[in-house]
Chain A
Amino acid sequence: MTCSKRDVRGEVISGFAEGIPAGQEDLVDDNTILVQRTLRSGQSIHYDGNVVILGDLNPGSEVVAKGNVIIMGVLRGVVHAGACGDENAVVMAFRLQPTQLRIANHITRPPDDEPEDTGQPEMARIKDGVVTIEAFQTGGERQGKAN
């Protein structure tokens, strides 16, 4: 995985933080792309920041982000958050049923038995070196980043 600039080719959508003023490159957290559609099989998004998707991530689709990934829909595809090694990156979805979930250099897949539908938003993040999935709590301390 390279996080250098990539060509915009085919269905890969790329957007990189070129407009950030000198000396503020570390504010990469402010660099967020909003995707207002469902990603279908074969479609992918690579982004040098956070990705928010207003739609589903269908099986066979892929999102690779340097920062966090938030899916306002069902996550059924592959997500890689913190693709450049950021272990504080999180993945959140209304329904978390990924084919595979990667955060930084951790790769996980859901258990082989039937996925239980919790019916509420869930968040995946690295906790004590392990990718853990928990119900998303609104309010309170900023999860993940607070540690």
Chain B
Amino acid sequence: MGEVIVVTSGKGGVGKTTTTANIGAGLASMGCKVALVDADIGLRNLDVVLGLENRIVYDIVDVTSGNCRLRQALIKDKRLEGLHLLPAAQTKDKTAVSPEQMRELCGELKKEFDYIIIDCPAGIEQGFRNAVAGAEKAVVVTTPEVSAVRDADRIIGLLEAAGLYEPKLVINRIRLKMVRQGDMMSIEDIIDILAIDLLGVIPEDELIVITTNRGEAVVLDQNSRSGQAYRNITRRILGEEVPMVNLEEEDGFLKKLRKIIGLK
């Protein structure tokens, strides 16, 4: 039986879809069978981020309304063997699916996949309720901004109300230089308010924008720091104990020297 994980945040634009795509790609690259479910009906993005937009024939609403079988709607990733996507509908809205239907759908997917990762829409309305209905675990994504942390706090409360206890936290787009100067909330500041376990910290990285626009996953890039951060998150989801990487930026000569002599 597989495990259903919902990736949520409350606030939009903090990196739910990017995180979903990269965790999915990371798990698949380690040999897991993964299904990504885009629950953002009407504003679908996950297919674009994965570069699978042009392969969509059926979507989640077709499945729940019985227009097609689940197997027909699942799209295989073009690079990774075990990665599959169940795309959202673009022409419908959030009311096209009910929480009961989502629960049923997740039950169906669990039989076939090791991990089912649900990309939750922003907000706390029906889309959120649909996305969390079938989930067993939750990952809350936030950025080091007061508004994002506030929304994450609200979401953690709502997750608890929905029976999803102990969600894990991903802090995205952190800039250590700004944290050091006292211009950005630190990891400690965020944990202090949210009081949940940290799953990982992703540094701000231009490469994320580049790979996302190309429909690739940064987690597969062996040389990037953000890719490394996502790989660590993936291994933590698989149950490995991975220490938090030191995000201190090392630039210039020392970094090059270390690369030459083969040290990370």
Q: In the complex, which of the residues A11, A56, A59, A76 contacts B157, with contact meaning CB atoms closer than 8 Å?
A: A11
Assuming A58-B193, A60-B150, what are 7 further A-B pairs, CB within 8 angstroms? A40-B153, A40-B154, A40-B156, A56-B193, A59-B153, A60-B153, A60-B154
A58 in contact with B161 given A38-B195, A76-B193 (CB within 8 Å)? no
B contacts with A: majority SS: helix
* Complex Cα spacing A76 to B146, Å: 13
Interface residues of A in 6-49 (CB under 8 A from B): 11, 38, 40-43
Which residues of A are found within 8 Å of B195, using beta-carbon distances?
A: 38, 56
Q: Can you list 17 A-B pairs, Cβ within 8 angstroms, ordered by A?
A: A11-B157, A11-B161, A41-B150, A41-B151, A41-B153, A41-B154, A42-B154, A42-B157, A56-B193, A56-B195, A58-B153, A58-B193, A59-B153, A60-B150, A60-B153, A60-B154, A76-B193
Which residues of A are found within 8 Å of B150, using beta-carbon distances?
A: 41, 59-60
Which residues of B are found within 8 Å of A59, using beta-carbon distances?
A: 150, 153, 193
Interface residues of B in 188-210 (CB under 8 A from A): 193, 195
* A interface, CB within 8 angstroms of B: 11, 38, 40-43, 56, 58-60, 76
Which residues of A are found within 8 Å of B156, using beta-carbon distances?
A: 40
* B interface, CB within 8 angstroms of A: 150-151, 153-154, 156-158, 161, 193, 195
Which residues of B are found within 8 Å of A38, using beta-carbon distances?
A: 195
Q: How far in angstroms is the closest Cβ of chain B from A12?
A: 12
Q: How far in angstroms is the closest Cβ of chain A from B164?
A: 13
Q: How far in angstroms is the closest Cβ of chain A from B225?
A: 31
- Which residue on chain A has the smallest CB distance to residue B160? A40
- Which residue on chain B has the smallest CB distance to residue A60? B150
Q: How far in angstroms is the closest Cβ of chain B from A38?
A: 6
Which residues of A are found within 8 Å of B154, using beta-carbon distances?
A: 40-42, 60
Centre residue among B150, B153, B154, B158 by max chain A CB count within 10 A: B153
Which residues of A are found within 8 Å of B151, using beta-carbon distances?
A: 41
* Complex Cα spacing A59 to B157, Å: 12
Which residues of A are found within 8 Å of B153, using beta-carbon distances?
A: 40-41, 58-60
Q: How far in angstroms is the closest Cβ of chain B from A42?
A: 4
* Complex Cα spacing A77 to B153, Å: 12
- Which residue on chain B has the smallest CB distance to residue A11? B161
B158 touches A42 (CB 8 A): yes
Q: How far in angstroms is the closest Cβ of chain A from B183?
A: 14
Which residues of A are found within 8 Å of B193, using beta-carbon distances?
A: 56, 58-59, 76
Which residues of A are found within 8 Å of B157, using beta-carbon distances?
A: 11, 40-43
* Complex Cα spacing A11 to B159, Å: 12
Which residues of B are found within 8 Å of A60, using beta-carbon distances?
A: 150, 153-154
Centre residue among B150, B157, B195 by max chain A CB count within 10 A: B157
Which residues of B are found within 8 Å of A42, using beta-carbon distances?
A: 154, 157-158
Q: How far in angstroms is the closest Cβ of chain B from A11?
A: 7
Which residues of B are found within 8 Å of A56, using beta-carbon distances?
A: 193, 195
Centre residue among A42, A59, A60 by max chain B CB count within 10 A: A42
Q: How far in angstroms is the closest Cβ of chain B from A92?
A: 20
* Complex Cα spacing A22 to B36, Å: 61
- Which residue on chain A has the smallest CB distance to residue B158? A42
- Which residue on chain B has the smallest CB distance to residue A55? B195
Q: How far in angstroms is the closest Cβ of chain B from A56?
A: 7
* Complex Cα spacing A40 to B150, Å: 9
| A-B pairs, 7 with minimum CB distance | A40-B157, A41-B154, A41-B153, A42-B154, A40-B153, A58-B153, A43-B157
Q: How far in angstroms is the closest Cβ of chain A from B126?
A: 16
